[in-house]
Amino acid sequence: MKRYLMTPGPTPVPEKIALAMAAPIIHHRTKEYIDLHEKVREKLKKIFQTQNDIVIFASSGTGAMEASVSNILSENDKALVVEAGKFGERFSQLVSSFGAQAIILKKEYGDFANAQEIEDYVKKYSPKAVYMQACETSTGVFHPIDEIGKMLKEKYPEVVFVVDGITAVGCIDIKTDEWGIDILLTGSQKAFMLPPGLAMLSISEKAKKIAAQNKNKRYYFDILGELNAQTGHFTPAVTLVLGLNAAVDMMLEEGLGNVFKRHEFLAKAVKAAILAMDLELFAKRPSNSLTAVKAPQSIDSKQIIDIMNKFGVSISNGQGSMKGKIFRIAHLGYFYPPDVILTIGTLEIALKKLGIDKLGVGTKKALEIFVEY
């Protein structure tokens, strides 16, 4: 069966990238690999929109989240964590796991944190660092990272600003240096159009100084250690780095601005289609990387997902307490208008089978929007 992956990670892998990864394996201590690794790290700076150094880990994205905690926080340090969904909760767990104190700014699922709230918490608790997502993938919310970053940079320049950009870097405009993001992290299987297995992060000079003094336990995820070793201390994921090189070239060829615009367009069409079908968006500030939708009353979102799966189209359920209540359509990475059209069309079939007739309503809206693409 032909499969369509409309999930917020893993996302579809373009043929060009798959072919780059089909190359014979080379040894990581050869000049060929060392040059490749260095070149990829340099090009990544453009995607991350930063002058800061980039580290690549062989791990899933959470490895970079862990590194951002263990390298910055010592035991008993205070860290402000924005918890607006499952991935915010993961940061709190990481902070506690490393013996630091998580001060939690809790938002309801579907809601976002604003700069004023962050400022109030920072003023009150004086945390060493602020940890948050750019896009909280579990709810489809995009936090106003620009306003938060600028506020911290201007008023609290000593605070380390850590942003999990796993569903933002490479699809949404994140101005790392301009907004004062000290650590921006991501993973390979979302906007980077790669299989799972790589984590990447950028680290500012300020954060590097703090990491150098930080005594917390760490071994594999030692950011400075990795920066000082040419291709890292350990065997790098050579094949995935070959793919990463191809992915970064694809993004730079399209032009970063065009990549962002394409995602904006896709998100606009999905949102308009959903609203046209009288469905409700779940996120109060929806991201351009995925759209979370409330399941119609009396329907479990799993029913919709199961029917769509029979047509080969995979979308995601809600996570945790949102399971069954929402479904999430991803549109980040290797996605173009026809992908959205077939997803909305298949959603309409599923709804029809469940007694809600919106055949052609959402697709028509999406088609109208794509005429302008």
Ligand X SMILES: *Cc1c(COP(=O)(O)O)cnc(C)c1O
Q: Which positions lie near ligand X, rule CB under 6 A?
A: 8-9, 60-62, 87, 133, 137, 164, 166-167, 187, 196
- What are residue 265's phi and psi, to 5 degrees? -65, -45
The smaller minimum CB distance to ligand X, of residues 187 and 345, is found at: 187
Q: Are 125 and 244 in contact (CB under 8 A)?
A: no
Q: Tell the smallest beta-carbon distance from residue 62 to ligand X (Å).
A: 3
Q: Residue 131 or residue 156: which is nearer to ligand X going by CB?
A: 131
Q: For the CB of residue 145, give the shortest distance to ligand X in the complex, in Å.
A: 12
Orientation of helix 256-276 relative to helix 361-371, angle to 10°? 150
Measured distance between the N- and C-terminal CA atoms of the chain, rounded to whole angstroms:
30
CB of 367 to ligand X, least distance (A): 29
Q: What is the amino acid identity at position 11? A: T
Q: Considering the complex, state which of residue 54 and residue 169 has its C-beta at the smaller distance from ligand X.
A: 169
Tell me how far, at minimum, the Cβ of 90 lies from ligand X, in Å.
Answer: 6
Contact 196, 60 (CB under 8 A): yes
**Residue 46, SS3 per DSSP:** helix
- Is 90 annotated to bind a ligand? Reply is no
CA dihedral (229, 235, 238, 244) positive or negative: negative
- Rank residues 193 and 307 by Cβ distance to ligand X and give the closer one: 193
Residue 181, by phi and psi: left (phi above 0), alpha (psi -120 to 50) or beta?
beta
Q: How far is the CB of 140 from ligand X (least distance, A)?
A: 10
Query: Would you call 173 helix, strand, or coil by DSSP?
Result: coil
Q: How far apart are CA 140 and CA 185, in angstroms?
A: 18
- Pick the closer one to ligand X by CB: 187 or 362: 187
Q: Which residues are annotated as a binding site for substrate?
A: 328
